[in-house]
């Protein structure tokens, strides 16, 4: 009986790997993906890639081999996403909490990150074919320098790709991301608002220059009066000379008793520093300081392995319209046939939301 089961399993594997069947499955995949593109497509999809170690245990494999198979599953799903029209894919590759695992496993994951990211980003590889760039989200200071060097090289290889994005959260927790966003917001709102730039040809600037030129020039009448006073002083007494000198001094300096004028432009420079109003901080302010600030809103989050929790992943990005799906399959088993029903369900929900929105709009118009 056991021999028959093994024989049947081998026959199925042989049949599935035969060239005609492989070609037929590939054509069916392309047909299904083309059908998906006819409806709305999520622009931002996130994955919690859970179940690699359990898959390895269930199949009597090394833990590292389970992670390798998980990477192959990621490559398959990325191709489905980018072919379908998804613009941003965010994957939970390594949690900060994963550093608590054995040193052997952590080192193996780091080495895998070096190798696999390089493979993905090489010329002609998956990311290059679909015009996707890599972005690393997380605490870079916790990663070994040799790993960072390879990661940065992969980022540089794909930096000119602009059609799609692959966000790799590594090492990451949502609490750390939110904490960083709050710290950046506090720092921004602790800086004074810079004063407006002075325009060299503004009305105030021109008026100030004209006034300065007028004050510095001496009228011709004042010069003639000075010469008459000097000739009269030679034939008068000392007291007359002092009076003439005082009179001449007063005529020569008509501005000496004039009140001091304060230029508004100079007064503006002495205004106290103004800081941003903390009451203006909103949810959008924090969103702009998140690691995913440049990404569209999160449309769909998928977690495999049957575990129904977010595990400190994308807590801020999950909003009222984000679809969160928990699947029982393990991540190395995840492929188009598991993902297809999720996308179809998301499309149906989105169409229903759009219809409800149009109905409310018609009711308001009536």
The active-site residue, picked from 4, 8, 50, 216, is 50
**Residues 6 or more apart whose Cβ sits within 8 Å of residue 281:** 185, 189
Cα 162 from Cα 153, distance rounded (Å)? 17
CA–CA–CA angle 156, 157, 163 (5° rounding): 100
Catalytic residue flag (residue 50) = yes
In degrees and rounded to multiples of 5, residue 112 shows phi and psi of -65, -40
Residue with tokens 């929790």: 309
Number of H helices, E strands in the chain: 14, 6
What is the crossing angle of helices 63-84 and 19-36, to 10°? 50
The active-site residue, picked from 98, 128, 251, 335, is 98
CA–CA–CA angle 362, 364, 366 (5° rounding): 70
Cα 243 from Cα 207, distance rounded (Å)? 37
Whose CA is closest to 333, among 54, 21, 80, 82? 54
Catalytic residue flag (residue 98) = yes
Which positions are catalytic? 50, 98
């Amino acid at each position: 009986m056991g021999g028959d089961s093994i024989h049947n399993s081998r026959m199925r594997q042989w049949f599935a790997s035969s060239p005609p069947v492989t070609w037929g499955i590939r054509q069916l995949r392309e047909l299904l993906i083309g059908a998906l593109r006819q409806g709305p497509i999520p622009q931002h999809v996130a994955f919690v890639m859970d179940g690699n170690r359990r898959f390895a245990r269930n199949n009597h494999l090394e833990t590292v081999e389970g992670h390798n198979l998980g990477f192959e599953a990621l490559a398959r799903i990325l191709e489905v996403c980018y072919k379908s029209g998804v613009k941003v894919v965010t994957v939970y590759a390594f949690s900060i909490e994963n550093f608590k695992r054995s040193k052997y496993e952590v080192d193996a994951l780091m080495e895998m990150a070096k190798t696999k990211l390089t493979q993905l980003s090489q010329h002609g590889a998956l990311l290059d074919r679909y015009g996707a760039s890599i972005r690393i989200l997380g605490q870079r200071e916790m990663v070994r320098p040799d790993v960072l060097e390879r990661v940065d090289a992969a980022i540089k290889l794909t930096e000119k790709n602009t059609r799609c994005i692959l966000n790799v959260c590594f090492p990451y927790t949502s609490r750390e991301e939110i904490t960083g966003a709050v710290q950046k917001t506090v720092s921004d709102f602790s800086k004074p608002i810079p004063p407006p730039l002075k325009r060299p040809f503004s009305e105030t600037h021109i008026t100030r220059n004209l006034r300065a030129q007028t004050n510095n020039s001496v009228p011709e009448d004042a010069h003639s009066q000075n010469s008459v006073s000097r000739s009269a002083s030679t034939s008068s007494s000392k007291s007359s000379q002092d009076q003439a000198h005082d009179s001449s001094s007063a005529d020569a300096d008509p501005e000496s008793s004039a009140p001091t004028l304060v230029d508004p432009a100079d007064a503006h420079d002495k205004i106290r520093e103004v800081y941003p109003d903390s009451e203006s901080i909103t949810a959008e302010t924090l969103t702009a300081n998140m690691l995913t600030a440049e990404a569209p809103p999160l449309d769909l989050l998928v977690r495999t392995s049957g575990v129904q929790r977010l595990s400190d992943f994308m807590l801020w990005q999950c909003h009222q319209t984000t679809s969160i799906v928990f699947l029982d399959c393990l991540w190395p088993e995840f492929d188009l046939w598991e993902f297809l029903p999720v996308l179809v369900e998301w499309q149906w929900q989105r169409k229903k939301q759009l219809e409800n929105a149009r109905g409310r709009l018609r009711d308001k118009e009536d």
